[in-house]
Structure 1
Amino acid sequence: MPADTPLKVRILDTIRDVPAAQWDALVADGAPPFVRHAWLSAMEESGSATEDTGWAPHHLTLWRGRKLVAAAPAYLKFHSMGEYIYDFGWANAAAQLGVEYYPKLLVGGPLSPATVPRFLTAPGEDAALLRRALLQAAVETAQAQDCSGVHVLYPTDEEADFLEEAGLARRITLQFHWKNPGYQRYDDYLARFDSKRRNQLKRERAAAATQGIQLRTVRGADLTQEHAQRAYTFYTSTCERHAWGQVQLTPGFFERVFRDLPDTVEMVEAVKDGKVIAGAFNLATPERLYGRYWGCTEEHPFLHFNVCLYHSVDDCIRSGRKVFEPGAGGEHKVSRGFEPTAVHSAHLIFDKRLDKAVRSFLRMEHARLAPAVEEAERICGLKPWASNPAPGSTGT
């Protein structure tokens, strides 16, 4: 198809309206699974991300004739749950101004607080041109749907720069990621802490053995639908244990993901007396591990840290992965060497009064960010990495 063939915008109310092969041809090799057709389909087909749950699919696509050349997963949102870029205060401010905040158009993925490309473009195409066209389509369809605005969540740094230059308000928030500067073994990671912190981490990790708990990672061909059922059970147990918890994923979501994305799914399991008592459902690429959902049926000291952090840090070192993103939140992660990392979102509110108030809030929020990062870095307290630490440098 000639490059000068006019682009046509199509809005899809289900990911099934585009063949998986065409959609995935836009997804770069090694990209996180959260933008793959199978992941989005699992969300929709399982009833986890649908209009009934407040996530009405509204995917933006660009076509040259019959060829899909660009796309952006998008949803009409009727609440702010499951986004992890918190704008509940903005909704309250909108109500005070007499503005209907919902629906809003969200460009991003359901229940997936991970930085991934949001504007997918075909190889060989003018990516900048297609990004502009997708953004224009987002604004126009949001206005046509009487949305209050457009929100792009967890774009890449490059996309965030583009969106800011296009006039959207940029928001920077923090996650806490473990980063691998070249560790050869787990002791290299421990060597970067002072003696007090290092001994604390050793005690916490050793607790599993003294409790008779064994940890393992199940992946690839070893995964079964029984693991999918466990993942759902552990996920719901955590949601129901906390006042803020809300069960949004269905059993069918886990069944589909374990079946259709076996190359990216990993399950960390804690086994005691032959019984799996805790687990963490993770996703992986060759370079990154993404922590998603965890839960347990028994309570043991430091079980959460071992299942969700320490075991996977060791596994990342063994496999040579560069980054471990354990998800939103982070206070307990900081003292265990997870470093403050900026993540981005971009926002355009159509009501000028509310847009002005949001931009003012973001300026103040950004001013408070630098001291927060400094404090997190102080608590993290990692010493500079030496690629060949001296023998015995891990201390006692």
Structure 2
Amino acid sequence: MTETSDITIRAHGDLSGIAAGEWDSCACPEAVGGARPEDPFTTYRFLKALEDSGSVGPGTGWQAQYLTAEQGGQIIACAPLYAKSHSQGEYIFDHGWADAYQRAGGRYYPKLQMAVPFTPVTGRRFLTRPGHEQSGRAALVQGALQIAEQNALSSLHITFCTGAEAEAGAAMGLMRRTGQQFHWFDAGYGDFDGFLAALSARKRKNIRKERRVAQEFGGQIVQLTGDDIRPEHWDAVWEFYQDTGARKWGTPYLTREFFEIAHDTLRDDILLILAMDGAQPVAGAVNLIGASALYGRYWGCIEDHPCLHFELCYYQAIDFALANGQVRVEAGAQGEHKLARGYLPVATHSLHWMRDAGFADAVAQYLRAEGAAVEEDIEILTSFGPFRKTPKEDHE
């Protein structure tokens, strides 16, 4: 526990000591009264599902140190903070830093990670009650740094924070890092045909072909959310997830119990897009629904069909967003192949602190060079986007 003026900062080893309403009043104040949260990943129910399912906690390399800042008897700010014994499940990679630090004789792990585990989605990491943004943010940074210093931890990493948080963190002395993802944005298209009309003729033709080929896989594609999601659907999702996880990461991050808990507490936040062969799902994509964005998270299949991945992960997501008021689709980390399908490059942000001053100087030099390269890459990729360069470009 730390006292900062009249603010008390506490670290919690689990969420049981924090009231759900107190957490969500900071994480998603816009959802008070039953509205949909902007960011479903920082809600109490999502983080609690990770914890209760054993996806984070002892033995996982993600040991919770949730921070709260209290003032006047209420929580004014909180943050999902974890002590990490590895760099898996983060998507903003520091493996090279860890190797260099350890070759120099240092101990990189454990480190502190302020993040949503396994989730490369931009969102607020300094979760503050409205009206307490500046003081709450400063208290959380101070609390995290004090934990790192008191325990001789090598570093603090605040990943997939917002651009505004990155600016504020840099002003507090943290090092800023820029990355890149591909997002789709609704420019007032109205429907999918309106989106296609904004593309060059060649890209428009290619997407229509991919959608046609995917729809010919031999079954039907369904979109399910809320009570339309049945417990048996998670059996298929788990099979898809295991297959994809084994190929990408070696060991899937989420446990089977996470999906059972998600069915009970998160299904209103979830969109399942399934390719059905009769009653059997053969491929699927798991999305989480925010107030203004749809977040693609997991994809998998038990049968390979041409273009089905593009249809379920990208085009069906756009269809849902256009029909349900989401103005953005975030289809996960990396993937320049998304550019041809209407997803444009955008910057992502993170903040970093190193306890060793010499190592911090080396990382800062690296980040300056990396940031310039990322900025140039985004500019070049945007210029090669699929959209018509002039209004007069030929339509089909």
TM score, norm. by length of structure 1: 0.93
- Does 2:216 align with 1:215? no
Query: What is the CA deviation profile of residues 48-101 of structure 1, one whole-angstrom value per residue up to 9, with x for unaligned ones?
Result: 011311000001111235422211110001101000001100001101221111
- 1:39 maps to 46
- 2:61 maps to 54
- 2:237 maps to 231
- 1:82 maps to 89
- Does 2:242 align with 1:201? no
- 1:182 maps to 188
- 1:350 maps to 355
- 2:258 maps to 253
- 1:63 maps to 70
1:375 deviates by 2.9
- Provide the secondary structure at the position in 1 that maps to 2:112: strand
Aligned residue identity for 1:52: G
Per mean C-alpha deviation after superposition, the further-off stretch among 226-235 and 46-55 is 226-235
User: How does 1:258-297 map onto structure 2 within 5 Å?
Assistant: 258-297=263-302
Pick from 124, 128, 137: which aligns with 1:131?
137
Q: Is the 8 A contact 2:341 2:386 kept in 1?
A: no
1:44 deviates by 1.0
Output the CA distance in 2 between the equivalents of 1:394 and 1:82.
43
Aligned residue identity for 2:318: V
Q: Is the 8 A contact 2:276 2:283 kept in 1?
A: yes
Output the CA distance in 1 between the equivalents of 2:203 and 2:223.
26
Pick from 195, 198, 219: which aligns with 1:192?
198
Q: 1:374 to 1:56 in 2, by over 3 A?
A: same
1:31 deviates by 2.3
Per mean C-alpha deviation after superposition, the further-off stretch among 245-254 and 85-94 is 245-254
- Provide the secondary structure at the position in 2 that maps to 1:324: strand
- 1:172 maps to 178
1:129 deviates by 1.2
Q: 1:314 to 1:385 in 2, by over 3 A?
A: farther
Cα RMSD for the two superposed structures: 1.9
Output the CA distance in 2 between the equivalents of 1:104 and 1:350.
10
Q: 1:90 to 1:280 in 2, by over 3 A?
A: same
Q: Is the 8 A contact 1:280 1:291 kept in 2?
A: yes
Output the CA distance in 1 between the equivalents of 2:239 and 2:183.
26
Q: Is the 8 A contact 2:38 2:291 kept in 1?
A: no
- Provide the secondary structure at the position in 1 that maps to 2:67: strand
Per mean C-alpha deviation after superposition, the further-off stretch among 207-216 and 304-313 is 207-216
Output the CA distance in 2 between the equivalents of 1:180 and 1:213.
29
- 2:23 maps to 23
Output the CA distance in 2 between the equivalents of 1:334 and 1:68.
42
Q: 1:51 to 1:354 in 2, by over 3 A?
A: farther
Pick from 288, 298, 304: which aligns with 1:299?
304
- Provide the secondary structure at the position in 2 that maps to 1:335: helix
Q: Is the 8 A contact 2:29 2:129 kept in 1?
A: no
1:394 deviates by 5.2
Q: Is the 8 A contact 1:51 1:57 kept in 2?
A: no
- Provide the secondary structure at the position in 2 that maps to 1:290: strand
Pick from 361, 379, 385: which aligns with 1:380?
385
- Provide the secondary structure at the position in 1 that maps to 2:222: strand
Output the CA distance in 2 between the equivalents of 1:268 and 1:147.
42
- 2:109 maps to 102
Query: What is the CA deviation profile of residues 293-346 of structure 1, one whole-angstrom value per residue up to 9, with x for unaligned ones?
Result: 110010011111111111111221122310000110122101111000111000
Q: Is the 8 A contact 1:173 1:343 kept in 2?
A: yes
Output the CA distance in 1 between the equivalents of 2:102 and 2:5.
44
Per mean C-alpha deviation after superposition, the further-off stretch among 233-242 and 322-331 is 233-242
- 1:142 maps to 148
- Provide the secondary structure at the position in 2 that maps to 1:154: strand
1:130 deviates by 1.5
Q: Is the 8 A contact 1:192 1:384 kept in 2?
A: no
1:210 deviates by 2.3
Moved over 6 A (4+): none
- Does 2:368 align with 1:367? no
